[in-house]
Structure 1
């Protein structure tokens, strides 16, 4: 059988509200998630034992291959699917690591899609989504890689009809550990971050299907990323990235994604996004910059 290929698109949290910390230590979130047109590439050569080879410009940043989420997802699926066919994965890594854009989660989700194709499993198979959630909170939303309103610890996924949004993503090439950011947020087990009058959590209302980008930007601007402030305390360079994005011409919305350090700006036109990307690369040659589209 020829090699199978998938891509792991970067995930961007357009909003991220921390509802609270559960008694088991996990955090309940509500987040509008979109996906960018930049991605890692993962190939599966069927046959033989399970293996993973790293390649690409950022392969060295991924650490020990044995800890990679691609292998974790494959092993977990093998525990649930008898005689699961596997093979040799090759991961071409181009997305920054520990960057708040779900690179590792997107890779694991791509691996699950490859294994589903190889074993003729539907992506709706409950075992696929069970493994996705056990692999990591961002993996379920990355399986379909389409815009969603994500709730809970990543298990609640409501598809959204998001228009294509010109954007620039910037990462200062400083890894940020998610656990450090949540520690800086400082919620105790069982503590709610929402107000006392918001005991019943309700899913927010987002623009209807077919709404223009202006309506989405207005709605998203009313949201926040509750992890932005604690992440900036952990890595102050995040504030510099946000400031640089805000000074670009035509930036309509600027925010951090996930737990950082990647930040984004949304623009009205592709030309504005491209020009902003060029300026940021020139001004900050050490930063990772991608100008493209969110959808």
Structure 2
């Protein structure tokens, strides 16, 4: 839920501030199941959300503005039209909202990295501004707006483990998952999704069969292992450093499974618990973006 706080008074009226996290999306598996006539690929995946997150802060204002701060802000400095602003305009157009907002994006997730950073930011902006502007949209209405912003934005609106199908817009509940730790690492190389799909070779995969009860993280890893990520080989061909990251994660004590998330270049490891994953992350090269912990 968005956190609303009083931010002070301007022009004689109280203005509320809203903070909303934008957690990293991790694709536990990713299968390319087909291709539509318009060229978009059909997918099957289960997405979960890590404790690693950006933060969207919004306060009522006369116009609409965006400031980007945080350790990963530099990459977005020259971006002419951030997805956060597109999300704000889309919400205003859909609801007729006339209020403005001064939005700050505190950026901690790497850009173009396969963990839905931009999509998560857009989803967080929709949730935050829906509360700030008191537009009253339910989850289904926000999902509809999100689908027009990008294939990953709807699942980021949900913000909980979900199965993604279609081009990402068809969502259903994920099977019950056990507690587990996640390690995330990125070699600080941006990898555009269209390039990875273009480099992909081979046919299509069948959708995954969902498991019964998974008692622990080891059982989860055993179920995920044969499902793979159909984009991983193509991403490694474009960015060989991904193979190095995967090998490093797999070599951490306690790692049960190492895999690339989404279209890369971020890779993840599954561990029995958050503390083990956090400790393992600290042993990876400091030149990489790295994080360890649990689900958000």
Q: What is the match of residue 97 of structure 2?
A: 83
Per-residue CA distance 1:7-47 (angstroms, 9 max, x = gap): 10000000000112211011110001011001001101113
Q: What are the residue-to-residue correspondences of 1:100-111 with 2, within 5 Å?
A: 100-111=114-125
Q: What is the match of residue 267 of structure 1?
A: 271
Per-residue CA distance 1:156-208 (angstroms, 9 max, x = gap): 11122323311210001111011110110158xxxx613xxx6xxx6621334
The answer to whether the Cα contact below 8 Å between 1:52 and 1:65 also exists between their aligned partners in 2 is no
Pick aligned residue for 1:182 from 197, 207, 212: 197
The Cα shift of 1:285 comes to 1.9
Which secondary structure state, in structure 2, belongs to the residue aligned with residue 2 of structure 1? strand
The answer to whether the Cα contact below 8 Å between 2:23 and 2:52 also exists between their aligned partners in 1 is yes
**Mapped partners of 1:122, 1:216: distance in 2:** 35
Structure with the bigger percentage of strand: 2
**Mapped partners of 2:143, 2:257: distance in 1:** 32
Normalized against structure 2, the TM-score is what?
A: 0.89
Misfit runs of 4+, over 6 Å: none
Q: What is the match of residue 255 of structure 2?
A: 251
In the alignment, structure 1 residue 7 sits paired with structure 2 residue 21: yes
Per-residue CA distance 1:110-151 (angstroms, 9 max, x = gap): 00001211224233242x212211111110000121001111
**Mapped partners of 1:151, 1:84: distance in 2:** 35
Structure with the bigger percentage of helix: 1
Pick aligned residue for 2:146 from 132, 143, 151: 132
Q: What is the match of residue 294 of structure 1?
A: 295
**Mapped partners of 1:65, 1:20: distance in 2:** 32
Pick aligned residue for 2:137 from 122, 126, 142: 122
Q: What is the match of residue 34 of structure 1?
A: 48
Pick aligned residue for 1:167 from 182, 198, 204: 182
Per-residue CA distance 1:254-282 (angstroms, 9 max, x = gap): 100000000011111334323321221xx
**Mapped partners of 2:240, 2:208: distance in 1:** 32
Which secondary structure state, in structure 2, belongs to the residue aligned with residue 170 of structure 1? strand
In the alignment, structure 1 residue 21 sits paired with structure 2 residue 35: yes
**Mapped partners of 1:84, 1:163: distance in 2:** 44
Per-residue CA distance 1:204-258 (angstroms, 9 max, x = gap): 21334x7433332221123110000000001010011011111111110110000
Normalized against structure 1, the TM-score is what?
A: 0.89
The answer to whether the Cα contact below 8 Å between 2:217 and 2:270 also exists between their aligned partners in 1 is no
